[in-house]
Structure 1
Amino acid sequence: MKYREIKPNGFLNNFVQCFWYYETTDTEIQHTILPDGYFDLIAEFENETLTTVKLTGIWTKPKDIQISKNAKFFAIRFKLLAIEYIFRKEIKSILDSIVNLPFSFWSIDKYKTDEFEKFTSEISNNLETSIKLLKPIDSRKLKLFDFVYEQKNKSVPIEIELRNEPWGDRHFAIKDPNDIGIDIVTYTESE
């Protein structure tokens, strides 16, 4: 088994946690995915052939998965801000589920299994270009998402921390569970 991550640079870091690569050998592997507050775009290859392109939602409970032998994965682990600005959808539509995408999504079907660095570089460049064309992002929203991810790594409950911050309940949609399908307190405790 091989696993590696490449972290994004610059402003893209607000949308992408990392690009990751996973490879199995000649044995099937059983894994349990633990909720981590991110969602992934995954390209799965079996025996050097692209077999699946999918978008996973935010998992709210552990999920057991079986990974085939001789499988390789190219993936992007996204932060919540990407839901609205890159995918233009609500995460609740894929919460605790998987949405299969066409192989041609973001031209993923052009990559070979030994081109992870090329995949990372080209997708990063395309995302950075797309982000530049977006409507301006409220700096308070960027700060809120940074704050949420920082709190996931602390032991202080976020509801206590939010009381000490300058934003109120109606400032950002993330505070409304109807938008993402999970409230902010539950989200930050999903580890």
Structure 2
Amino acid sequence: MTNDEIQYKKNLPDKAIADFVECFWMVENTTGIEKEVVVMPDANFDLVFSKDGNEPFQIYLLGLGTLYDKRKIDIDTKMFFISFKLIAAEYLFHQSIAHLLNEFQLLPDDFWGFKESDINDFDAFCIKASQIIKQFIPNTIDPRKQKLFELIYASNGEMTIKEFSEKTFWTSRQINRYFTRYFGISLKVYCGFLRFRVSFEQIKKGKLFPELNFSDQAHFSREVKKLSGVNPRELHQNKNDRFIQVSAINDK
């Protein structure tokens, strides 16, 4: 039995891992036909578990997206995602993801002890993933970095670099050096993705005028088009649910 639309589902993490994980989400194409979607930047990087009818089970690390990306979802494709906040790159994966801007890195198909059968049940997958991630959380984290990311997400990227610097007692140069080394972009650029993420949620509700730190309507429209390929009105219409922005998927 098939559905007319691609199926999405999202679960939020429990408090114990919420500093590192934004959400768990899944996409499944049971329509019986290949579907084209547009994936937009969501300010996270992802661990992806993927299986379709023609390809073997794969696990890969998907870096930050900086542009909208048109993708085709094959028939019978099922993909589970763990969307990570940036601090997880250093403290859970122990690596820079700067080389993965708009790219992916294949991982062993038993990475972190996962196996193909884990993508049969989304809720069970989320429980297993949460238990695994809890084991990797370190006892100590650089307090400057911890404070920085708390401020970044709490403000939706609305603070200036100077404000971040003053509140974390970390110089602007050190912050940007850290961001460039680990994530391949500056903090200012990253904050732009956070603002877009919030803007998409507003656009989805029909609010087509800027409510965040955009200089004017023209600036807002330019930023939206740069990151989605269309203007705010077209994005709001979202014909055939083509546009995917993870934060806007209804969560459980």
- Does residue 28 of structure 2 align to residue 23 of structure 1? yes
Distance 2:177 2:19 in 1: 15
Distance 1:48 1:150 in 2: 42
Instruction: Tell me if the contact between 1:23 and 1:70 (Cα under 8 Å) persists in the aligned partners.
Output: yes
Deviation string for 1:54-75 (max 9, x for gaps)? 1110011111111111111111
Deviation string for 1:72-113 (max 9, x for gaps)? 111100000110011110010212201111211122224244
Which residue among 111, 135, 138 is the counterpart of 2:117? 111
Larger Rg: 2
Tell me the secondary structure at the aligned position of residue 165 of structure 1.
helix
Give the aligned CA root-mean-square deviation in angstroms.
2.3
TM-score by length of 1: 0.86
Distance 2:21 2:41 in 1: 17
Name the aligned partner's letter for residue 144 of structure 1.
L
Which residue among 89, 112, 131 is the counterpart of 1:125? 131
Which residue among 8, 21, 26 is the counterpart of 2:13? 8
After TM superposition, the structure 1 = structure 2 runs for residues 148-159 of structure 1, keeping only pairs within 5 Å, are 148-152=152-156, 156=158, 158-159=160-161
Tell me the secondary structure at the aligned position of residue 31 of structure 1.
strand
Q: CA deviation at 1:47?
A: 3.4
Q: CA deviation at 1:48?
A: 9.7
Distance 1:161 1:173 in 2: 13
After TM superposition, the structure 1 = structure 2 runs for residues 136-155 of structure 1, keeping only pairs within 5 Å, are 136-152=140-156
> How high is the sequence identity, in percent, across the aligned residues?
28
Distance 1:64 1:49 in 2: 20
Q: CA deviation at 1:7?
A: 0.9
For structure 2, list consecutive stretches of 5 or more residues without a partner in the other structure.
Answer: 1-5, 197-252
Distance 1:18 1:189 in 2: 20
Higher mean alpha-carbon deviation, 180-189 vs 139-148, is at 139-148
Deviation string for 1:147-179 (max 9, x for gaps)? 112333x6x453364365242326657754233
For structure 1, list consecutive stretches of 5 or more residues without a partner in the other structure.
Answer: none
TM-score by length of 2: 0.67
After TM superposition, the structure 1 = structure 2 runs for residues 1-191 of structure 1, keeping only pairs within 5 Å, are 1-25=6-30, 26-47=32-53, 50-131=56-137, 134-152=138-156, 156=158, 158-159=160-161, 161-162=163-164, 165-169=167-171, 172=175, 175-190=178-193, 191=196
Distance 1:52 1:15 in 2: 23
- Structure showing the higher helix proportion among its residues: 2
